Amino acid sequence: MDITCDGIVIRETLYGESDKILTLLTGAYGKITVAAKGVRSIKSKNSSAVQLFCYSYFELVEKDGRYTLKTATINDSFYAVRDNIECFALASYFSDVSNTVCSENNDEREMLRLILNSFYAMAHLNNKPLWKIKAAFEIKCMAANGLAPDFSSCAECGKPSVDSTDRHGVYIFSPGDGSPICPECLLKKPRNNIIPVTACTIDAVKYILSAPQSKMLGFTIPDNDNLRKEFCDFCEKYLCYQTSRRYETLAFYKSVAAM
């Protein structure tokens, strides 16, 4: 059976002398694995459309749940992402996360839009720093998969979170519960991996959660290195905890971002 779909290449594995095994993220079919024969040959008409991070229109042959590439046409190559080492590393992390949280035969339209919007911002919005794109992706990704953090109340006793700060006015967030924990409940029932955060971080995360994807980068963080680090660390730690993964691509991104 022939099918058509738009999708983005989030993973590629070289196979044989001229073939690739592709992992595509599509809206209607979710994450699918596609055998792409001969695409590494200079004679292949499909080679440019199946590069890593390319968003393309695919014609596929499906048989017994297996997909084989027929033709591919580029929608957006995101060349600027692949041409910059820091953007390449961050895109690799986004693709790795998407490969982890997305499933086959699942409606992944929101995740597809998210990774496309994030790649577009990296490729075309030079006024948006990568740390901001990364943090927004991490929070929106969790929300798209039903794992959004909830700052409304203490996860244990239900006390409003605004009344659940420590004596310094810092919220104690439990990534395992996905909510803050008030000091009294934390004393009674200690938790590992708690994340202290200020109202600045919470306000920024709330903005990302409530904003449409087209405006998810509109939040502000004061021009303060400590506050920005706190915010970025929260978004990253929360995603990594919820997905139970240590991402080599994240370590790669950090290594090139520090250069």
- Using alpha carbons, select from 118, 175, 171 the residue that is nearest to residue 141: 118
- Tens digit of each residue's pLDDT (9 = 90 or more) over 214-250: 999 999 999 899 999 999 999 999 999 999 999 999 9
Last residue of a domain, one of 48, 77, 106: 77
Domain CATH code at residue 72: 2.40.50.140
Last residue of a domain, one of 42, 77, 112: 77
- Token pair, residue 196, equals 């202290």
- Tens digit of each residue's pLDDT (9 = 90 or more) over 115-129: 999 999 999 988 789
Q: Which domain holds residue 110?
A: 80-259
Shared domain for 17 and 92, answered yes or no, is: no
Shared domain for 97 and 220, answered yes or no, is: yes
Shared domain for 114 and 154, answered yes or no, is: yes
- The pLDDT of residue 136 is 98
The answer to whether the predicted template modeling score (pTM) of the entire model surpasses 0.85 is: yes
Pick the more confident residue, 24 or 168.
24
Residues 231 and 22: their CA atoms lie apart, in Å, by: 34
- The pLDDT of residue 161 is 75
Last residue of a domain, one of 77, 109, 128: 77
- Using alpha carbons, select from 15, 236, 3 the residue that is nearest to residue 141: 236
Average pLDDT over residues 101-121: 96
- Using alpha carbons, select from 234, 227, 145 the residue that is nearest to residue 193: 234
